[in-house]
């Protein structure tokens, strides 16, 4: 299938001599629904990365005494883990020192440290300390965000591209942890799957899952996407690609440091629900009114129960979501890979007993690709920002981890974010569709100068052409409605950090 937008001849006037609906859209809507230019993409991505770095830079140029890192919202995992995970000593991850992250991130952490040591030896870096390590890490991670921007650019509208490039998750979390490594693999897997390059889509998702587990959540969607097109060989190839990438990334570490490699998964399985989850606050509320050791106990208590129950709930809900997508395949023309993938990811963030701030950057690319209404996106981002700020300021409170005004705001934000994630998941699984950018309205030479005649939404001649069997619609067709039903006018639309 063709992935690029094509120019289309001007549309004929609608009955009564009126212009097609897309040409009648407000200027601001037309300005945000078409594809972004390369210049806009580069400029927006550069601004987003600059803001992301400037937010964290105070922590690289000042000491962390008196909760400086929390009061200035510049905390990042990169600097403390330079020491805690033995990078400054050149210790090999998993073998010489415990590392809680999957192998591609652990390897990246180690290689970046060795590169900094080399630069210091060559007198190309000032010193071998955490500020220099942070700066080098940020420099190496920045291209990941740029690549994501360029992969998304021809596939989303200007407004949705800006959601990624300068959205609050990109600014707040790009350099908080190493999650951009997984994000770029996820988006590459999505692009390759849409191009029907099933083997390489599986490889990209397998590499992503070897950095952070969540890109693997999209593999069943890709398999069912190929299967719905009666490409059983493609479905098998995607699984083989995923398996091959996971084997190549993980087996060397499994052989060299089996105990350390297993430690990743034992650590995650054995954790008590953290502050960013509803499960922590539910236990806290119950324990306040009816004290029992069970609610504050990890192994053998609430922690173990939620770990098992949450995992079971996620598995069951994922199967139901996948089945719901399969039932939609005839309506949509194929399996709705991306809406179902978004629903699964939002469900995971809802039920997981581990939730770190940077997880918001996981769902951001999918929010640009699926027609989730802007009000849902806006509420999710609002709740996430409030959670980010209140969480770090709670850490500065002398009464931490006791109650305070910041802890109350943080608690309410946790439940608010969970509710919006549930709404996003329901929207994606129910009516979510792949969102394409609208073509720019062309000038109709039969009309007076200055009036457009090209349609910019589904059904209009100027719409970005939907691919056969894709069930997609361009921006402006109306959230949640297939392109064959364009009758309605479009509406405007701590541990706080953990792996």
Q: pLDDT tens, 2-18?
A: 333 333 333 444 444 44
Q: pLDDT digits over 274-333, tens only? A: 999 999 999 989 988 888 888 887 777 888 899 899 999 999 999 999 999 999 887 778
Q: pLDDT digits over 128-161, tens only? A: 999 999 999 999 999 999 999 999 999 999 999 9
Dihedral sign for Cα 176, 182, 185, 187, please.
negative
pTM over 0.85: no
**Residue 432: what pLDDT?**
84
Q: pLDDT digits over 162-176, tens only? A: 999 999 999 999 999
Q: pLDDT digits over 450-497, tens only? A: 333 333 333 333 333 344 334 455 544 333 333 333 333 333 334 444
For the cut 50, the answer to whether the pLDDT of residue 272 exceeds it is yes
Mean pLDDT over 248-256 rounds to 96
Give the up-direction half-sphere exposure of residue 180: CA atoms within 13 A in the CB hemisphere: 28
For the cut 70, the answer to whether the pLDDT of residue 44 exceeds it is yes
pLDDT band of 26, cuts 50, 70, 90: low
For the cut 80, the answer to whether the pLDDT of residue 412 exceeds it is yes
Give the up-direction half-sphere exposure of residue 89: CA atoms within 13 A in the CB hemisphere: 10
Residue found by looking up tokens 């210049």 in the block:
39
For the cut 80, the answer to whether the pLDDT of residue 232 exceeds it is yes
109-118, 369-378, 449-458: range with lowest mean pLDDT: 449-458
């Amino acid at each position: 299938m063709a992935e690029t937008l094509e120019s289309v001849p001007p549309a004929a006037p609608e009955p009564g001599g009126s212009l097609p609906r897309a040409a009648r859209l407000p200027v601001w809507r037309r300005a945000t629904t078409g594809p972004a230019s390369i210049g806009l993409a580069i400029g927006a991505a550069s601004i987003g990365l600059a803001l992301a770095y400037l937010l964290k830079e105070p922590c690289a140029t000042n000491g962390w005494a008196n909760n400086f890192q929390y009061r200035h919202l510049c905390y990042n995992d990169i600097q403390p883990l330079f020491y805690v995970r033995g990078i400054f000593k050149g210790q090999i991850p998993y073998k010489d020192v415990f590392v809680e992250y999957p192998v591609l991130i652990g390897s990246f952490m180690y290689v970046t440290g060795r590169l900094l040591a080399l630069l210091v030896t060559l007198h190309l870096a000032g010193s071998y300390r955490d500020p220099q390590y942070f700066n080098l890490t940020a420099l190496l991670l920045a291209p990941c965000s740029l690549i994501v921007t360029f992969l998304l650019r021809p596939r989303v509208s200007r407004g949705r591209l800006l959601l990624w490039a300068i959205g609050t998750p990109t600014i707040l979390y790009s350099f908080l942890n190493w999650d951009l490594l997984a994000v770029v693999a996820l988006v590459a897997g999505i692009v390759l799957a849409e191009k029907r390059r099933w083997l390489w889509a599986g490889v990209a998702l397998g590499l992503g899952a070897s950095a952070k587990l969540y890109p693997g959540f999209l593999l069943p969607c890709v398999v069912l996407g190929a299967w719905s097109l009666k490409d059983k060989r493609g479905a098998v190839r995607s699984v083989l690609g995923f398996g091959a990438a996971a084997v190549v990334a993980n087996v060397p570490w499994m052989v060299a440091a089996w105990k350390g490699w297993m430690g990743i998964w034992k650590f995650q399985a054995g954790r008590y629900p953290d502050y960013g989850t509803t499960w922590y606050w539910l236990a806290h509320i119950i324990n306040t009114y009816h004290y029992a050791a069970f609610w504050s106990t990890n192994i053998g208590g609430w922690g173990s129960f939620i770990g098992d129950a949450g995992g079971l709930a996620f598995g069951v809900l994922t199967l139901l979501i996948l089945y719901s997508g399969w039932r939609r395949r005839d309506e949509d023309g194929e399996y709705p890979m991306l809406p179902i993938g978004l629903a699964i990811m939002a469900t995971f963030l809802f039920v997981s007993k581990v939730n770190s701030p940077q997880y918001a950057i996981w769902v951001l690319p999918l929010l640009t690709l699926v027609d989730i209404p802007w009000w849902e996106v806006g509420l999710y981002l609002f709740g996430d920002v409030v959670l980010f700020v209140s969480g770090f300021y709670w850490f500065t409170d002398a009464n931490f981890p006791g109650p305070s005004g910041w802890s109350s705001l943080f608690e309410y934000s946790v439940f608010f974010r969970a509710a919006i994630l549930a709404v996003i998941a329901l929207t994606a699984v129910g009516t979510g569709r792949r969102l394409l950018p609208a073509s720019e309205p062309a000038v109709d030479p039969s009309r007076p100068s200055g009036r457009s005649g090209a349609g910019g939404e589904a059904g209009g001649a100027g719409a970005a052409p939907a691919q056969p069997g894709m069930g997609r619609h361009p921006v402006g067709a109306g959230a949640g409605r297939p392109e064959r039903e364009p009758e309605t006018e479009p509406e405007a639309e701590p541990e706080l950090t953990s792996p």
